[in-house]
Amino acid sequence: MAEKVLEKCRIKLRDGLTEPVIKSLSDHLQEENVLGKEEVEEILQRTKTRTDQARDLIDSVVRKGSKASEILLKCLEKRDKYVYDSLNIDSYSAIQEAGATSSHPTITTDKPNTTTEEYKMDSYPRGLCVIINNETFKNPERKRNGSQKDVERLKSLFEYLGFLVEIKKDQTTSEIKQLMIDYSKDHRHGDCFVCCVMSHGNENGVEGCDAKVLASGDEQMCPLNDIISPFDGDKCTSLIGKPKVFFIQACRGHEMQSKVLVADGPGSSRIQTSGTKYSIAKDSDFLIAMSTVEGYKAIRNKNNGSWFIQSLCNHLEDGSKRGQDILRILTKVNDEVSRAEGIIVEDNKTIDAKMTPQPYFTLRKLLVFRAPKAAASK
C-alpha cells in the first residue's frame, strides 16, 4: 500500500522536502480534498521548522490511507523529481500492488520530467540572458573589483544552459532604463528571459555608472521597477506566460547584518490549455532574486567575486543537471550564503561580514533550467 511506502521513505522524504515544495504539496492536497484548510494551516505554521512541516505533512497524509498517500507521491513526482527519484519507489513492491488494485494509475518514474505544472524550456536558444556589469564609477575608489569574475561565471553558466548571452558594461542610469525598454521589444525572445544587474545600490534601486549625488544627499538611482516593469504583460507581449528572471547583485542599504547562532537538528509557456483560453495578471511569471535584504550591504570579494552570484551559479549549474526547480536552488543559495563568514575593515574597525539573499516571485509553475542535450553531455 502507498502509505507503507511513505512510512519506509519517511526520513529521506522529510529531509529532502524544501519549504516551497511543502507549500505546493499542501495546496495540491487541499485542492484534491485530501487535506482540509485547517489541516494545511496547521502544517504550514510559521513557527514550525521546515523539518516539522515536512514531518506533519507526511504523517497527516499517511493517516488518510493509501489513496491519499498515492496522490501525495504523484504530486511529488511533478513538483520535485529529484527528491521523488531519490526515494527509489519502484523498489517497493507494495506500490506496484497498490497500482493494480486502485482506481488511481500506478506511479512510475519513466515519465519525462515535464508537465503542465512546469514552464516550457526547450527552445534553442532558450532565450536572452542580459548581464549588466557596472564596475567603474566616477570615483575610482568605488570601482567594483571582482565583479568581472561574476560576469565570467554568469556568461559561462547561461551559455551552458542554452541562452544567448549579451554583456553590457558600465551603463549610466538612463542607459539601463533604455536597455530594458529595448530588450522588452527584442524579437529574439525564447522560452525565458534572464537579466543580471550588478552595481552599487541602496534600498531605492541600483546606481548607473554616472550616479550623481542629489540635493537630498542620496545618490541618483535607477529604481528596480524601471528595470522590471518593461517586461510585464502589457508592455512585452512576446513574454506573456513565460518566466522573466532578474538577479540583482547590489547593496540595499548601509548596514551590515548581524549574526546569530543556530543549533541544527538532524537533518507551458503558451496561455492556452486544451483549447480553452484564460487570462493571467500582467505581473505574473516574474522572479526577482536580490543579493541581500533591504537595508543591508551585499558582500563582494575583490578577488573571487560576490558571495551571491558565485553561490547562485554553482547551485544553478548543479541543480539544472538534477532537474531541480529554481526556488529549491535559491533556498540552497540562501542557506550557503547565510552560513558564509567574512571580515570587513571599515574606518579602522573590523566587522563580521554576514548577509542573506532574498527572492521575490510571482511564478505560476515550476521553473527548471534545462541545458540543451549537447551541453549537458559535456
Catalytic residue positions?
200, 251
Angle value at C-alpha 241, between 235 and 246, nearest 5 degrees: 70
Show the cell assigned to 324: 531541480
Q: Which residues pair with 360 in a beta bridge?
A: 288
SS3 letters across 352-363: EECCCCEEEECC
Nearest to 332 by CA among 354, 355, 316: 316
Instruction: Give the contacts of 182 (CB within 8 A, at least 6 positions apart).
Output: none
Which residue's C-alpha cell is 531605492? 204
**Under a CB-based contact definition with an 8 Å cutoff, are residues 256 and 297 in contact?**
yes
Query: Judging by beta carbons within 10 Å of its beta carbon (0-12, 13-18, 19+), is residue 100 exposed, middle or buried?
Result: exposed
Reduced to 3 states, what is the DSSP secondary structure of residue 160? Answer: helix
Query: Residue 246 and residue 9: Cα distance in Å, rounded?
Result: 36
Q: How far apart are CA 320 and CA 370, in angstroms?
A: 6
Q: What are phi and psi of 189, to 5 degrees?
A: -60, 140
The alpha carbons of the chain give a radius of gyration, in whole angstroms, of: 23
Using N-to-C axis directions, what is the helix angle for 93-101 and 66-79, rounded to 10°?
A: 110
**Cα separation, 197 vs 355, whole angstroms:** 18
